Every structure is written in C-alpha cells, then in structure tokens.
Chains A and B, each alone.
Chain A
C-alpha cells in the first residue's frame, strides 16, 4: 500500500517545481485560447444552425495553410504577420459563406444523419483538397520578429509568442462578447439559439443570419489556424485531432454557449498540459473521461441550457 502511494506520488513530483507548473500552465492556457477560437465557432453554429459541423477542424486547417502560403509570398516582418492573420480570417469567411449558402442551406429540414454526412463529406473533401494544393509534407510558419524570444514574468521565462496567443484569445473573447451583447445582430444570434421559429415569425431574416453566423464561425477557425501556424506543424492530418479537442470543449461548455466554450477551452487546455506531466500518454483519456462525465451528469454542458 505504501509503495502504491509512493508510485502515485511520483506522478505528481513536478508539482514541487513552481517553474515547471507555471510554464505548463501557460502552455495549457495558450493552447486553450487556440481551442477557444475553434470551439466558439463550432458552438455558435450549433446554437443557431443546429448542425454539428465536423468540418470545423478542416476550416482551422485551411486557415493554417492559407497562412503558410501568405507567409511565403509576403516579406518577413510583423506587418506581414498581421496581413497573414487578416488574409486567413477573411479567406475563411468567404469559404464559410460559400459552404452555408451552397450546401448547408439545402439540408436544414433533413434528418440528422444527412446533416452529419454532409459535414463528414466536407471533412474528406477539404482533407484531400489540402493535400492536392499544398502537398503531403508538413509546413511551418516563422514567428513574427516582434514576438520572437522570451519574456520574464514573475521570475519565470515564458515564450513571448505564447503570451501573445493568450492576449489574442482574450481580445477575441471580449470582442465576441461585445458583438453578441451590444449589437442588434448579436441579439438576433442569441435569440436564434433559444427559439429560431419565433425569431423568424418576428420578421427577422434568418437566411442572412444563418449565413453570417456560419461565416463568423469559419472566420474564427481561420484566425485560429493562422495564429496556431507558428506553434504547430501544419500537415494534412491536422484537422482530425483538432476537431476532437474542439468537440470535447463544446460538449463540456455547452453547445451554443460562447462563455461555456471559453471556460471549457481553458479547462481542456490545462487538463491536457498537466495530464501529460502526470500520466504521459493517457492525458487524452482524461479529456474524454471529462466529456463523458459531463454528458452523463449534465448533458447540456456546464453553461448550456436544457432543451
């Protein structure tokens, strides 16, 4: 019994090292911010369109690949990095409009399996399209000159780009909150999450609303992909894992809740970061276990509302 406890304690030996804890927390939070950018769109789209967009990870991947191309064409520099972020965001917004108005719009009334199949089809098509356009190899994007290196804070050295990711994630979250709570469009979005039919009956153009919500979700995924580009290796399989993490986040936070997506993103980011230290190899199991528990105990998620 004593030795069992000791082996268990060994898994948590890193806890005594505050520098390791701080670094890992930062890595977890910054990854959580990237997750948030994907999960927020996934959640909004489900809330309004009632479709689980399995292709959302593929949209994130497209954002990263657009960043690869743009960083190849533009000169090195921080201005180019900003242009790259804008390019990926705008590019994915356009792709989002095309997907919603060309495909999704036709199947809102169809049974669930058709909606599921349609987004699965997009996963397969976009996954191969990326291979056709950018090839099978992995790509990388350089960190912008302003954000290279590390920063001292609280006596610990942090990679500057990771701090920037956290700031960017918080800025997007605040911006989203403002749009959803302070603009007319945002009120429509929140109303649609509660009762779409009533919103339509009140004379709101839900067609335009659906298209813009999907475009916003896609744009956020594109921005996430471009922001992630300097810290991940960008290859054709990127989307398969990304969508799983985002899906876990949205289920834990509550489908349709942006606030829930934010909290759950941090949670999953931290569980992953510390899970790797405590139980290497099993950290993924931890996040799925969290998801299963939430689904069983509170299936509408921490911040969602029961149907």
Chain B
C-alpha cells in the first residue's frame, strides 16, 4: 500500500500536466486513450474477473456512442444541457441494452455465451445500418461538437479525465468488494459457488450490465471527441479491439487492460499514419502476442521482476 500511494499521485500529476506538454493532435489521442482504457477495463471486469468472454462488447460501446450522438443532435435540447446529460444517457442506454442481452446470454456459459453476445451485437449492427432515419445508416452521425470551451481539446481532455478516473475508481472498488470476490470465484468454479448458495446468474448479469454501462460511457466519450459515430463501431470486427487491449495489457491485473489500450491506440496512430495496412500490422502484433507473450505486458514486467 505504501508504494501504491506515491505511484498513484505521480500518475495523477502526469495525467493532469499532460495537455501542457503535447500538441493538440496528441491531446486528441490522449482522449482516445482515456476512452479506450475505460472500455478495455470494463470489458476485463467480465473476462479477467468473471471469466466471461463476450464476443460482442462493441455493441455497448456503440450503443453509448449512438445514445450520446442522438441526444446531442436530435433531442432538441439546449446544447449545454445535452452535453451535461450525455454521459448519463449513454450509460443508461448501454445498461438497458446490456440488461436485455445479458438476461438471455448469462443462461449459457463458455463459448455459447460468447456466441449469444455475438448474435445480439450483429442484430444491433444491422439495425444501426438499416434504421437510416434514426442513425443515418452507413453515413453514421457526424458533426458532433461539445459546446463552448469544451470544444477545445485540452478542456475536453480534462472533462474526459474527470469522468474516466472516477469511473475506473468505481470499477476498482467493485472488483475489490465481496461482489468482486464472488466474480473471481465464478471464474474458477461456478458450480461450487452455486452450491454455497450464491445466485450465479444474477451475479453474472449484474457484472454484465455494469460492464456494458461503462463500455457505453467510454463509447460516448470517444464519439464526442472524434465528432462522429458509425455503424462499423458495432460490427463484429470491432469486438476484437477490447479483447486485444485486455490481453495485450494482461487480463490478471485491474489496470493492465488500460495499459494495453494506451499501447494499442498509440501503435494504431503511428502505424496507420505510415501505411494503409494497419489491419495487417495489427494481425501480426496479435499473432506475436498470442504466441509469444500470453501473460501480456504486465505479465512480462512481473516475469522480469521475479
């Protein structure tokens, strides 16, 4: 504990000072890192703690993004009010969708759980693509802009930071709580947990809804920064992203996936700036990750220490 406090303080200072040290372009990237860090950590609450592999987590990221975009563009609210409400709206929409998908999905385990989440995600993707009147179809929703001073990258960065850090703290408290202990127990032996008298499904559903809600918040934060949202955000290839980030950082630590998100986003910026073949590069990186360093970056660091 004594070692953790200075590290946390140092990290907070570094995050707060960041916009003074980098250009606007990199502030945008830093905002993307914050959003995807929250996304990856929320995904890993399911995978790393609960042992539930969702093949369709992009659904919640996308729903959050669409909810925020619709609130800002179509609800007819004052821009300031809509901006103040969008994080809550995104979380509520994603939580609602996660409750419905989760209700059906947690009845199955392992690979069948994954396939159910996948099926619902593709259903939502198709709706986002076809419900042109609401979602703009293939063209997505563009031209999102935070009001007033929030449109400045540095200000929006602090806004995103002020949401991401408390959100991560809430998730951290959650996985450190008795609820988190039950989740970890479910990962190793669901039958035994059931025998003790714990309702397995309701705990899995609660974890699914919480994870989905925070993934939705992450999607909304990213949409308001990038200025748009597209149906592709809900497509199946997008569901690889949180899995790669979590495995890259290491699924057995709380902040490992956040580190994975940072490395992934920066790699994407650097590689896709030089070549159009970013997917090829990412494929090779994933292969290397899966075959050579299965414990991720945090696992690598731990192995060097011991």
Contacts and interface: CB of A to CB of B under 8 A. Distances in A.
Interface stretch (B9-17, B61-69, B223-231, B236-244): B236-244
Interface stretch (A12-20, A34-42, A73-81, A122-130): A122-130
A125 B284 CA distance: 7
B243 A113 contact: yes
Interface in A122-161: 122-125, 127-129, 131-132
Contacts of B108: 295, 299
B283 A121 contact: yes
Contact of B47 (A107, A113, A289): A113
Nearest to A110: B294
B286 A121 contact: yes
Contact of B284 (A106, A121, A289, A296): A121
B269 interface: no
A85 B201 CA distance: 49
Interface string A235-246: 000001000100
Contacts, number: 117
Contacts of A118: 286-287, 290-291
Given A124-B283, A131-B277, A112 B123 contact: no
B95 interface: no
B112 A295 contact: yes
A240 B287 contact: no
Nearest to A51: B111
B246 to A, nearest CB: 8
A178 to B, nearest CB: 30
A292 B120 contact: yes
A124 B280 CA distance: 6
Given A116-B114, A291-B119, A295-B112, 15 more contacts: A116-B55, A116-B240, A118-B291, A121-B282, A121-B283, A123-B237, A124-B282, A128-B279, A128-B283, A131-B277, A240-B235, A284-B130, A285-B130, A292-B116, A295-B108
A172 interface: no
B123 A285 contact: yes
A163 B236 CA distance: 33
B53 A112 contact: yes
A129 B168 CA distance: 38
A282 B114 CA distance: 24
A52 interface: yes
Contacts of B147: none
Given A110-B290, A124-B286, A127-B279, A116 B119 contact: no
Contact of B277 (A132, A251, A296, A299): A132
A103 B247 contact: no
A120 interface: yes
A204 B18 CA distance: 60
B289 interface: yes
Interface residues of B, number: 41
Contacts of B244: 117, 120
Interface of A: 52, 54, 103, 106-107, 110-114, 116-118, 120-125, 127-129, 131-132, 240, 244, 247-248, 251, 281-282, 284-285, 288-289, 291-292, 295-296, 299-300
B243 A125 contact: no
Contact of B291 (A52, A106, A127, A131): A106
A117 B111 contact: no
Nearest to A126: B283
B53 A116 contact: yes
A122 B287 CA distance: 8
11 contacts: A114-B247, A116-B240, A117-B247, A124-B237, A124-B283, A129-B280, A244-B236, A251-B119, A288-B119, A292-B123, A295-B108
Contacts of B290: 107, 110, 114, 117-118, 121
B296 to A, nearest CB: 11
Interface string B55-78: 100000000000000000000000
